[in-house]
Chain A
């Protein structure tokens, strides 16, 4: 019984962090909050399904309310033109494409690199590499995107590169922390019974690191959804376009719509990440 309140508060804390991240992103703010990253380091406690169901129901309810408002609200012609459903769907699609492509690249680079940095000879260079990754995140994302656009003509590609640089840290760091966090006695037990170093990595270290690694991936995803709004600055597409349009043309309803949709999208992605974490958590932990 004592478990329930703690898990609820834990879920609450991560929700808050995710909302913070989404709010930051919607406001096109560059720096992210430390709470979310710190949360990612902590191995999550076993959670019941209920908070997950509540989370998605609330998000769906927000979308329904927004849809109803869009139909009923007195919109000007320009507003109606910008906020027609097909445009919104297209922008959401672009936004998701930016997020997913960047995520895949982040995973392809971050996970193997993170694992490599926990292996014997590379352990020494782990700190310098982390410092570089830290730099990627510390640099304001908006600056990074604009800077890259100067060198890469294609807005989508420039955005992807900036997003990857920006989101690699949580994945890299959580992979390292997850693998390092595996009890060394278990590694020794594995080697002691004749498993090769690679077999120990594959069958002991990685499975045990999965919860921490997945939580890093989720953090990266949420960061990416928010930061992808900045792609609109360099003609990279996405829901950020609604925000920039709203600001430039003083279309308050368009601006709010863009911010709201980015926030809801970030929370939905966060929810999907949680579901995966819940399902992929190794039994017995």
Chain B
């Protein structure tokens, strides 16, 4: 069927796959895909630089060529024109099967082989690369742990014995099996329910913090792109790049009406989902201990000019938040946990914090840190300031952005491409 003999390739592929720990940059150089019998190219001269170790989201309406672009990176779809450069190496003409063994690939619903167990599925690529049995078994164990599945429970299960979310996790584990520097995902969370999707997204963020791969993810869900992406590419038909920027900047300054429409309503609100509570400054509060003297707490609150006092238990966890008027009616501070207490963790998004505030009557929320210990108070004004700051700072950052354009759009861009070809990692964002 093909000219490839797996045995001769394994050594070369094994060397390249095993030696690398973190991501590599990808550079698409004026890549075009034309299908016979179609006037307009499906992908039209895309030049795209994907910085190493970062998550780049390809978004756009269906049929815009984002999936075709993704599949040209591992050459599941062969480009008609252009070059693909992976970590400085031109891979446009090397053996496609060999290339794909070096690139993880995740599809919707995981794409697990139903006649193989979880362990067999995960072991596929390492086997092709000629790893020995002990190493494969060890790696399978490690990966199942990484994606949050107990190896002893799930190793010998068949895919049909797993839930959709678990299948997707195994799919990610399988793609990471040979420790590829690059991971491509095609609508990875499209087939699971919203709650599972959110959990898988959080999980992916955690995994990425550990593995630091270069990830390219196709999605039609802009919120998912904002949540997962370091960078977002917005496409329109023919894989025309409309905007390639950070989520913050795309939300703050959409390039045109198309992007604006694609973001949908509430761009400012979506920005709240990008910021964590710990990133804003929490205000101090009057803290009193449960069962303490209410009059004394009231006096301290009046002195500090606060309307409320926070009551914490012996471990410093907030249990209630009485106002001055409530304090004046008490003799002892409450010892029971107030079920309506507005509280968020410092890892929560500003969106979560705002939501909690709107539900509670206080117009503010308590923030807790490690072990649920009280840290401070965040109110609506703090969040308003954060939005304003975010919009301003997002508007300032622009020169660091990696290259993303279509040929023939602007003449000047050709020069940029030339520069980018010689040093594809040159303009990667440094955090």
| Residues of chain A at the chain B interface (Cβ within 8 Å) | 119, 185-186, 188-199, 201, 203-204, 207-208, 282-285
A284 near B115 (CB under 8 angstroms)? yes
- Chain B positions within 8 Å of A283 at CB level: 115, 158
CA distance A191 to B97 in the complex (A): 7
A285 near B105 (CB under 8 angstroms)? no
Interface mask (B1-41 → A, CB under 8 Å = 1, otherwise 0) = 11010100000010000000000000000000000000000
A185 near B107 (CB under 8 angstroms)? yes
What's the nearest-Cβ distance from chain B to residue A17, in Å? 27
- Chain B positions within 8 Å of A204 at CB level: 113
A197 near B1 (CB under 8 angstroms)? yes
* Interface set, chain B 239-270, CB cutoff 8 A to A: none
CA distance A204 to B107 in the complex (A): 16
CA distance A278 to B100 in the complex (A): 36
> CB of B55 within 8 A of chain A?
no
B100 near A284 (CB under 8 angstroms)? no
B2 near A191 (CB under 8 angstroms)? no
A193 near B175 (CB under 8 angstroms)? yes
A186 near B111 (CB under 8 angstroms)? yes
- Some 6 contacts from A to B, beta carbons below 8 A apart, are A185-B107, A188-B111, A192-B74, A194-B99, A194-B100, A282-B115
What's the nearest-Cβ distance from chain A to residue B325, in Å? 62
- Chain A positions within 8 Å of B115 at CB level: 207-208, 282-285
Interface mask (B152-191 → A, CB under 8 Å = 1, otherwise 0) = 0000001110000000000000110000000010000000
- Chain B positions within 8 Å of A198 at CB level: 1-2
- Chain B positions within 8 Å of A191 at CB level: 76, 97, 100
A196 near B1 (CB under 8 angstroms)? yes
CA distance A282 to B114 in the complex (A): 9
> CB of B337 within 8 A of chain A?
no
- Chain A positions within 8 Å of B113 at CB level: 186, 189-190, 203-204, 208
Shortest beta-carbon contacts, A-B, top 8: A189-B111, A284-B158, A194-B101, A192-B105, A194-B100, A282-B115, A198-B1, A197-B1
Given contacts A283-B115, A284-B117, A284-B159, contact A196 B76 (CB under 8 A): no
CA distance A122 to B268 in the complex (A): 55
| Residues of chain B at the chain A interface (Cβ within 8 Å) | 1-2, 4, 6, 13, 74, 76, 97-102, 104-105, 107-109, 111-117, 124-125, 128, 158-160, 174-175, 184
- Chain B positions within 8 Å of A192 at CB level: 74, 76, 100, 105, 107, 111, 184
A196 near B97 (CB under 8 angstroms)? yes
CA distance A191 to B105 in the complex (A): 10
Q: Which of A185, A199, A282 contacts B111 (CB 8 A)?
A: A185
- Chain A positions within 8 Å of B160 at CB level: 284-285
- Chain A positions within 8 Å of B175 at CB level: 193
B97 near A195 (CB under 8 angstroms)? yes
CA distance A15 to B167 in the complex (A): 37
A285 near B114 (CB under 8 angstroms)? yes
Q: Which residue of B lies closest to A284 (CB)?
A: B158
Q: Which of A119, A186, A193, A208 contacts B100 (CB 8 A)?
A: A193
A185 near B128 (CB under 8 angstroms)? no
B101 near A189 (CB under 8 angstroms)? no
CA distance A284 to B119 in the complex (A): 13
- Chain A positions within 8 Å of B108 at CB level: 185
CA distance A208 to B99 in the complex (A): 26
CA distance A191 to B77 in the complex (A): 11
CA distance A207 to B114 in the complex (A): 10
- Chain A positions within 8 Å of B98 at CB level: 194
What's the nearest-Cβ distance from chain B to residue A280, in Å? 12
- Chain A positions within 8 Å of B104 at CB level: 193
Q: Which residue of B lies closest to A208 (CB)?
A: B115
Q: Which residue of A lies closest to B99 (CB)?
A: A194
CA distance A126 to B392 in the complex (A): 63
B125 near A193 (CB under 8 angstroms)? yes
CA distance A226 to B159 in the complex (A): 41
- Chain A positions within 8 Å of B102 at CB level: 194
Q: Which residue of A lies closest to B3 (CB)?
A: A196
What's the nearest-Cβ distance from chain B to residue A86, in Å? 47
What's the nearest-Cβ distance from chain B to residue A124, in Å? 15
Given contacts A188-B111, A194-B97, contact A201 B116 (CB under 8 A): no
CA distance A119 to B99 in the complex (A): 23
CA distance A192 to B185 in the complex (A): 11
What's the nearest-Cβ distance from chain A to residue B26, in Å? 16
What's the nearest-Cβ distance from chain A to residue B168, in Å? 12
Given contacts A185-B107, A189-B107, A194-B128, contact A284 B116 (CB under 8 A): yes
- Chain A positions within 8 Å of B76 at CB level: 188, 191-192
What's the nearest-Cβ distance from chain B to residue A272, in Å? 23
Q: Which of A197, A199, A203, A284 contacts B114 (CB 8 A)?
A: A284
- Chain A positions within 8 Å of B184 at CB level: 192
CA distance A196 to B3 in the complex (A): 9
What's the nearest-Cβ distance from chain B to residue A98, in Å? 35
- Chain A positions within 8 Å of B4 at CB level: 196
- Name the residue in B98, B105, B112, B117 with the highest tally of chain A Cβ atoms < 10 Å from its Cβ: B105
CA distance A185 to B109 in the complex (A): 10
What's the nearest-Cβ distance from chain A to residue B324, in Å? 62
B2 near A193 (CB under 8 angstroms)? no
- Name the residue in B2, B74, B111, B116 with the highest tally of chain A Cβ atoms < 10 Å from its Cβ: B111
Given contacts A194-B125, A198-B1, contact A189 B114 (CB under 8 A): no
CA distance A185 to B112 in the complex (A): 9
Q: Which of B6, B13, B116, B174 contacts A199 (CB 8 A)?
A: B6
- Chain A positions within 8 Å of B105 at CB level: 189, 192-193
Q: Which residue of A lies closest to B5 (CB)?
A: A196
- Chain A positions within 8 Å of B97 at CB level: 191, 194-196
Known pairs A190-B113, A283-B158 / 14 extra A-B pairs, C-beta < 8 Å: A185-B109, A189-B105, A192-B105, A193-B125, A194-B100, A194-B101, A196-B4, A196-B97, A198-B1, A199-B6, A201-B1, A284-B116, A284-B158, A284-B159
